[in-house]
Structure 1
Amino acid sequence: MPDEQSILQRGLEAFAELGYDGGSARELARRLGVSHNFINDRYGSKAAFWRAVVDSALSAQLADLPQPDPALDDAEQLRLLIAGFYRSAVDTPLIGRVLVNEFSRDTERLDYLYERYMAPILQRMASSVERLVAAGRMAPIPLDVLFFAVIPPVSGMLDGPLARRLGRPEPTAQQLTATAELLARLVVNGLLATGAEERGGA
């Protein structure tokens, strides 16, 4: 019998490849190397197993993101948080595929992802954004626009085959960290460029 961490990792691999609807209980059990009734016996349902898989992958990511530091400028705070999010994507690239599968479906799973993981990250970003807007350094930006300004560049951390065709050498950990920093700086600078001070040439 595989240990718990192996089961959750194999579950992540299965959901990333098959999607939630494509992964029948029987197919999941086969890929986990367990009996056909294991998921119901251990987790109660396929939905509960999916939540356990997601929690295993995302809880550590959320905990590892930089904590708010009142001593830092809000733009720098925002950059550090976004860069940390991009770096965490490298550690668990399969969860990105799971998220892409779920973001376009109006389901209880999307509610779970949003309430448990997306909303806390967005709230931390929004706090810095609100202060930057109040200071005239950034134009007001709707929360959905902020989300879609920040999230799509994460593909730059995950799409290795395409990145190589665009000229990126085989990445090292140091190079991926540098890429995360660069992407985060580009995103934050783009958001700040909409501010009154930038428009005024300050």
Structure 2
Amino acid sequence: MTATPASRKRGRPRVGEGPDDAQLLKGALDAFAERGYDGMSLRELGRRLDVSHALLTARYGSKEGLWFAALEYALAHAEQGWRQTAGDPALDDLQALRLGIVQQIMFAASFPQVVRILNHEGGVDSDRIRFVVDRFVTPLRPLVEVRLNRLRAAGQIRSLPYEALHFMVVHGPAALFANTVESELLGAHPPAGNDAVRRHAEAMADVIIFGLSSPPGAGATPTQEN
């Protein structure tokens, strides 16, 4: 075969070469979702991505550093959506809540690895699960609660603990995309394509909103203390 100027020399890319961060971080998400943190090493990930262990170490410092970078890369997408929606003055509170749920489900379709990783991490205390909660969940909570509290005070939704709503929105609809084997055994076919995913997300959001809605004539419910 005749070499071309764009041809890469044999062997894995050296430090300063190779895939960009997005490719590496997506590969890391896949690996950690499949094997868990303890089941994956930088050397194994390097073999999967056809890059050197030294390259991963140079970019991310350690396996833990790569894990943090991968979750930061993914969850920043969800964070941006929630911040824009929660702070949009053009949306009333119920519209903002519904749109936030739709965007969260669409995020789960794009990054199903995140819920799989959280399933690995959520049952054992570690710096990793605390990073997710401290970096993303806790800072977003007041933005969402402002709207939830107004909806409760107006009697538009039931009083529900925030953590219950968190699991209902973040983990429930995501299972269809994250638990692929279970979905297949149930005969489920996750929607493919942006339009189909959005229709599915809107249907699931309407189910959640309907379940939260207070029955007609229930009157205002006290705002929950947190």
- Tell me which interval the TM-score lies in, with the shorter structure as reference length: 0.7 to 0.9
What is the letter of the counterpart of residue 127 of structure 1? V
How far does residue 158 in structure 1 lie from its aligned partner after superposition?
A: 4.7
What is the letter of the counterpart of residue 144 of structure 2? M
Partner of 1:34: 51
Residue 76 (structure 1) aligned to one of 69, 72, 95: 95
Larger Rg: 2
Q: Mean alpha-carbon deviation: is it higher for 105-114 or for 154-163?
A: 154-163
How far does residue 178 in structure 1 lie from its aligned partner after superposition?
A: 0.6
How far does residue 24 in structure 1 lie from its aligned partner after superposition?
A: 2.1
- State the distance in 1 between where 2:217 and 2:177 align: 29
How far does residue 35 in structure 1 lie from its aligned partner after superposition?
A: 2.7
- State the distance in 2 between where 1:45 and 1:159 align: 28
User: Is there any run of 5+ residues in structure 1 with no aligned partner, and where?
Assistant: none
Partner of 1:184: 205
Partner-residue secondary structure (3-state), 1:21: coil
- State the distance in 2 between where 1:167 and 1:153 align: 13
For 1:78-117, list aligned pairs within 5 A: 78-117=97-136
Q: 1:25 to 1:113 in 2, by over 3 A?
A: same
C-alpha distance after superposition, 1:28-49 (max 9, x if no partner): 2322323334333322221111
Partner-residue secondary structure (3-state), 1:69: coil
Kindly tell me the number of residue pairs found equivalent between the two proteins: 198
The answer to whether structure 1 residue 3 and structure 2 residue 24 are counterparts is: no
User: Is there any run of 5+ residues in structure 2 with no aligned partner, and where?
Assistant: 1-12, 220-226
TM-score, normalised to structure 2, is 0.76
For 1:1-202, list aligned pairs within 5 A: 1=13, 2-4=18-20, 5-65=22-82, 66-67=84-85, 68-151=87-170, 152-159=172-179, 162=183, 165-166=186-187, 171-193=192-214, 197=216, 199=218
TM-score, normalised to structure 1, is 0.84
Give the structure with the higher percent helix: 1
C-alpha distance after superposition, 1:142-182 (max 9, x if no partner): 22112122221222455566279556586443221111001
Q: Percent identity?
A: 33
Q: 1:144 to 1:198 in 2, by over 3 A?
A: farther
- State the distance in 2 between where 1:97 and 1:167 align: 18
- State the distance in 2 between where 1:198 and 1:87 align: 34
What is the letter of the counterpart of residue 29 of structure 1? G
Partner-residue secondary structure (3-state), 1:62: helix
- State the distance in 1 between where 2:27 and 2:192 align: 25
- State the distance in 1 between where 2:106 and 2:115 align: 12
Partner-residue secondary structure (3-state), 1:72: coil
What is the letter of the counterpart of residue 96 of structure 1? V
What is the letter of the counterpart of residue 24 of structure 1? S
How far does residue 91 in structure 1 lie from its aligned partner after superposition?
A: 1.6
